[in-house]
Amino acid sequence: MGTPVNIIVGSHVWIEDPELAWIDGQVLKITGQNVEVQASNGKKITANLSRLYPKDMEAPAGGVDDMTKLSYLHEPGVLENLKIRYELNEIYTYTGNILIAINPFQRLPHIYDSHMMQQYKGAPFGELSPHVFAVADVAYRAMINEGKSNSILVSGESGAGKTETTKMLMRYLAFLGGRTATEGRTVEQQVLESNPVLEAFGNAKTVRNNNSSRFGKFVEIQFDKQGRISGAAIRTYLLERSRVCQISNPERNYHCFYLLCAAPQEEVEKYKLGNPKKFHYLNQSSCYELVGVSDAHDYLATRRAMDIVGINAKDQGKEVDSSVPKDDNAKFHLKTASELLMCDLVALEDALCKRVMITPEEVIKRSLDPQSALVSRDGLAKTLYSRLFDWLVDKINSSIGQDPNSKSLIGVLDIYGFESFKTNSFEQFCINFTNEKLQQHFNQHVFKMEQEEYTKEEIDWSYIEFVDNQDVLDLIEKKPGGIVALLDEACMFPKSTHETFSNKLYQTFKSHKRFIKPKLSRTDFTIAHYAGEVLYQSDQFLDKNKDYVVPEHQDLLSASKCSFVAGLFPPLPEASKSSKFSSIGSRFKLQLQQLMETLNSTEPHYIRCVKPNNLLKPAIFENANIMQQLRCGGVLEAIRISCAGYPTRRAFFEFINRFGLLAPELLEGNYDEKTTCQKILDKKGLKGFQIGKTKVFLRAGQMAELDARRAEVLSNAAKTIQRRIQTHIARKRFIALRAGAICLQSLCRGKLAGKQFDCLKKEAAAVKIQKHLRRYEARKSYNKLHLSALVLQTGLRAMAARKEFRFRKKTKASIIIQARWRCHKASSYYKKLLIGVIKAQTRWRGKVARKELRKLKMVLPTVVWL
Ligand SMILES: Nc1ncnc2c1ncn2[C@@H]1O[C@H](COP(=O)(O)OP(=O)(O)OP(=O)(O)O)[C@@H](O)[C@H]1O
């Protein structure tokens, strides 16, 4: 991994965290080697400078599809990239040529449909998003173009998705090299259909996976010259035999037992089956059913698949469970077993409960104690089951058929990943041995790939170190003297116990740096594997390593009247009878050797499956758990190998784009890209880098160093910009503030004046109201006064007037009377006068008139004037 360099205050870094494995943060303070970091979760963490890694702040938001594109190739960077992608449901990511597949724990049908297959067909590697189809396509094209065999190695811990990935690979290879089924079953159909059959007999529910393969598998698909599938072979490794007799809660035994119990009624009766709770090998756990799985349905599906892969109906009807005759029930089972195995009832009982001892004098039959009889029964069941499984695989192979003319093949290896539990026994030892072997193969391949890249770019790689795990392999498999050899020796020696075996190990590997004797134990031992230390409990190593069939069992079953059962136990050749011992460890070692030979003759491709959480649920990404798997799957080792050389490589133009600002004068000069890169690196005083034909190759940490310089330049520029911007912002703020203040002031003043005006207005109004009120009041009281005065005056005047009137009335009346009287008197006088006048006048006038008349009678007509 890259060494942290050039971490300064303000740098963004990754720091170890007990919960999240790695957490990002920013450096607050550096005191000597101690660094204080403000983590993104708000905590302040202090750590040693050497434990920090730089964080790439320019990494794309959606992550990169190939880890080699990361600027900083280190654990936290890798983890973060996978996490970002997983959150976007991008479950596949490359690390160079290795494909990392993170189990989505949810169906993503759109990424596996036929349209997708069509897209990946012939597409150049890396052009489309990472995918299993891309890996299969590369393997297929390489095989067609170069005529060389290829292999795809799928590994990962239980439940990581190896089997699902293998199925996808097979589907895609069948899609590329399949033929249209004109005459019945095609090879690829048979290969694909062999899965459900093998799963029924080789898979079981475990705590880590509901459909866990309890064996390793290498499927060889042979192709003819036209690239069509012409044959196939399946090799299986290390079936977990102990599960047949011993299961722990809440796990299950192999699926096939439950399928048989769920068979149609007539078959259940025929084979004297029934409820799984009745059988000792099944009722050790309380788990009988799987959620969402119908055993009855799967029973029929498995039978159909058996038809397709060529196992005939007669062969499909053999199964057995065994027991010791403790009571009537046990006797019933014994009888059933003898009927199903078609062997003699008494012979079966003897084989289970007695042992024959041959002494020079005589042959003695000795009864076994109940405990040994149990062991004997379980031994028979395990042998029977593992032979049945091997028969099944042979049958599938012979039915599919091999192509002797095939020159090239693609092998797909689906094998258990590194295991380290609380208790680790012989199985874990073999599994981890396999993984050491594969790791070596992987390291060599990754190293070779690195070298190829360097050669292609014509750079010197002679000094790149390569850490080999050959020492662990020697510890395990060296002959003589390795653990497997010592175990075989112990198994052959009748008085050996696991204590003597452990002691032998302690003595032999006293000073081996990969072997550790725990202080407090006398039988455990620890091996420092490439993926970490594993503590093994040796107590069952001897039993589990012994692979010999008790002669009584061998004789009994090879004498079975059922040709199928007898066929599983062919009579042993005389020579092998004398050397009774055969060991599982050695046989497995041999198998592994053959596998490695096959793999070495092929071009390998790696798929590392990762289980994101132990809850088997989607969208949960457990950092520490995943980190451990990447470590065990060799991904981190591949990165380490890469770091040992030139982990960072950048195309010239990319390099100039990123680091041109370190030497702006060069960008204005007339240099070609290669010289510019060289000059930038020289200017910064870096040593040890190499300039290839198209890329710059940097040693671990150099990218960070350049980035730190770049960060400095950028930070200075940023500071200037910040200063200006801050001034500008401050001034703008001040002006705005001032305008605001003025505005506020005028508003306040206005408001105050308004208020004052309001007060004045109110005051004036009050005065006016007061005035009017007062006037009204004054007027009212004046009016009242006035009225009163008037009334008073009127009264008084009236009184006076009345008084006067009364007086005047009296006077007036007398005057009127007087007047009337005088008037009367005058009028009477006047009338007397008038009458006298008139009489006088009349007499006068009469005399005159008569005189006149006499005159007129004499002169003029008479004039009458009265
Ligand atoms: N690509 C995928 N898409 C959807 N689900 C998946 C995928 N890969 C794995 N799974 C889910 O994870 C479960 C476990 O996967 P699988 O059986 O392939 O694991 P494994 O690595 O083969 O485990 P074991 O070593 O125990 O056999 C599957 O049953 C399936 O539900």
- Tell me the pLDDT tens digit for each residue of 431-474: 899 988 888 888 888 777 777 777 788 877 665 666 678 889 99
Q: Is residue 26 part of a domain?
A: yes
φ/ψ (deg, to 5) at 809: -55, -40
Nearest atom (ligand 1) to Cα of 112: 1
Burial of residue 807 (number of CB atoms within 10 Å: 0-12, 13-18, 19+): exposed
The tokens describing 663, both together, are 């030497």
Is residue 212 part of the annotated active site? The answer reads: yes
CA distance 59 to 68: 12
Is residue 50 part of the annotated active site? The answer reads: no
Residues 206 and 393 sit within 8 Å (Cβ to Cβ): no
HSE toward the beta carbon, residue 337, CA cutoff 13 A: 26
Q: Determine the 3-state secondary structure of 278 from DSSP.
A: helix
User: What single DSSP character describes residue 406?
Assistant: -
Where helices occur in 23-131 by DSSP H, the ranges are: 75-87, 114-120
CA distance 600 to 444: 10
Q: What is the pLDDT of residue 129?
A: 92
Residue 540 has pLDDT above 70, yes or no: yes
Is residue 158 part of the annotated active site? The answer reads: yes
**Residue 788 identity:** S
Bridge partner list, 13: 25, 54
CA distance 132 to 130: 7
Q: Is residue 711 part of a domain?
A: no
**Selected catalytic residue, list 40, 158, 283, 598:** 158
Q: Is residue 21 part of a domain?
A: yes
Q: What is the pLDDT of residue 859?
A: 66
Bridge partner list, 233: 220
Distance of CA 598 from the midpoint of ligand 1 (Å):
26
Residue 4 has pLDDT above 60, yes or no: no
The tokens describing 197, both together, are 């059959």
Q: Is residue 263 part of a domain?
A: no
In the chain, % of residues over pLDDT 90: 19
Residues 456 and 690 sit within 8 Å (Cβ to Cβ): no
Distance of CA 141 from the midpoint of ligand 1 (Å):
27
Q: What does the pLDDT look like over 825-850, one tens digit per residue? A: 888 888 888 888 888 877 777 777 77
Q: What does the pLDDT look like over 153-205, one tens digit per residue? A: 998 888 899 989 998 999 999 899 876 554 556 777 788 888 888 999 999 99
Confidence of residue 324 (pLDDT cuts 50, 70, 90): very low
Is residue 182 part of the annotated active site? The answer reads: no
Neighbours of 24 (CB within 10 A): 19
Closest of 681, 687, 689, 675 to residue 659, by C-alpha: 681
Q: What is the mean pLDDT of the chain?
A: 83
Residues 546 and 501 sit within 8 Å (Cβ to Cβ): no
- Around ligand 1, the residues with Cβ closer than 6 Å are 103-105, 107-108, 156, 158-164, 209, 211-213, 416, 609
Q: What is the pLDDT of residue 748?
A: 92
Q: Is residue 821 part of a domain?
A: no
DSSP string covering 750-819: HHHHHHHHHHHHHHHHHHHHHHHHHHHHHHHHHHHHHHHHHHHHHHHHHHHHHHHHHHHHHHHHHHHHHH
CA distance 270 to 266: 6
Q: Determine the 3-state secondary structure of 156 from DSSP.
A: strand
**Residue 363 identity:** V
* Number of folded domains that form the chain: 1
Q: What is the mean pLDDT of the segment spanning 777-788? A: 86
Residue 621 has pLDDT above 80, yes or no: yes
Name which residue sits closest to atom 25 of ligand 1, judged by CA. 158
Name which residue sits closest to atom 14 of ligand 1, judged by CA. 159
Q: What does the pLDDT look like over 670-713, one tens digit per residue? A: 788 888 888 888 888 888 788 888 888 887 667 777 877 888 88
Q: What is the mean pLDDT of the segment spanning 141-160? A: 88
The tokens describing 391, both together, are 């028969």
Residues 178 and 190 sit within 8 Å (Cβ to Cβ): no
Q: What does the pLDDT look like over 248-275, one tens digit per residue? A: 888 899 999 999 998 888 888 888 888 8
Nearest atom (ligand 1) to Cα of 107: 4
Binding-site residues, in ranges, read 156-163
CA distance 351 to 450: 59
**Residue 704 identity:** A
Residues 511 and 467 sit within 8 Å (Cβ to Cβ): no
Bond prior to 480 in cis (omega within 30° of 0): yes
Q: What is the pLDDT of residue 325?
A: 53
Q: Determine the 3-state secondary structure of 861 from DSSP.
A: coil
Helices vs. strands in the chain: H and E counts, helices first: 27, 22
Nearest atom (ligand 1) to Cα of 414: 22
CA distance 652 to 672: 10
Closest of 647, 653, 697 to residue 96, by C-alpha: 647
CA 835 from chain center: how many Å? 159
* CA end-to-end span of the chain: 174
Residues 160 and 100 sit within 8 Å (Cβ to Cβ): no
CA distance 62 to 82: 10
Q: Pick the most confident of 229-243, 334-348, 561-575.
A: 229-243
Is residue 633 part of the annotated active site? The answer reads: no
Q: Is residue 851 part of a domain?
A: no
Confidence of residue 361 (pLDDT cuts 50, 70, 90): low
Nearest atom (ligand 1) to Cα of 214: 27
Is residue 6 part of the annotated active site? The answer reads: no
HSE toward the beta carbon, residue 435, CA cutoff 13 A: 27
Nearest atom (ligand 1) to Cα of 213: 27
Residue 530 has pLDDT above 90, yes or no: no
Residue with tokens 């038809």: 307
* Stronger pLDDT, 34 or 185, i.e. the higher one: 34
In the chain, % of residues over pLDDT 70: 91
Distance of CA 152 from the midpoint of ligand 1 (Å):
17
Residue 478 has pLDDT above 90, yes or no: no
Enclosing domain of residue 39: 1-55
Q: What does the pLDDT look like over 627-665, one tens digit per residue? A: 888 877 777 777 766 666 776 778 888 888 888 888 888
Confidence of residue 90 (pLDDT cuts 50, 70, 90): very high
Q: Is residue 67 part of a domain?
A: no
CA distance 271 to 667: 85
List the CATH number of the domain containing 8: 2.30.30.520
Name which residue sits closest to atom 11 of ligand 1, judged by CA. 105
Element (H, E) at 676: helix 673-683
To test the pocket of ligand 1, the residue of 93, 106, 163, 613 to mutate (highest count of ligand atoms within 8 Å of its CB) is 163
Closest of 255, 243, 365, 364 to residue 305, by C-alpha: 255
Closest of 560, 577, 578, 581 to residue 569, by C-alpha: 560
Closest of 155, 185, 567 to residue 342, by C-alpha: 567
CA distance 533 to 517: 12
Is residue 163 part of the annotated active site? The answer reads: yes
Taking CA 386 as the corner, what is the angle to CA 220 and CA 215, rounded to the nearest 5 degrees?
Answer: 45
CA distance 311 to 452: 47
Q: What is the pLDDT of residue 644?
A: 67
Is residue 399 part of the annotated active site? The answer reads: no
Q: Is residue 297 part of a domain?
A: no
CA distance 163 to 195: 9
- The answer for residues whose C-beta is within 8 angstroms of residue 553's C-beta and 6 or more apart is 351, 376, 379, 380, 383, 569
Name which residue sits closest to atom 8 of ligand 1, judged by CA. 161
Neighbours of 245 (CB within 10 A): 20
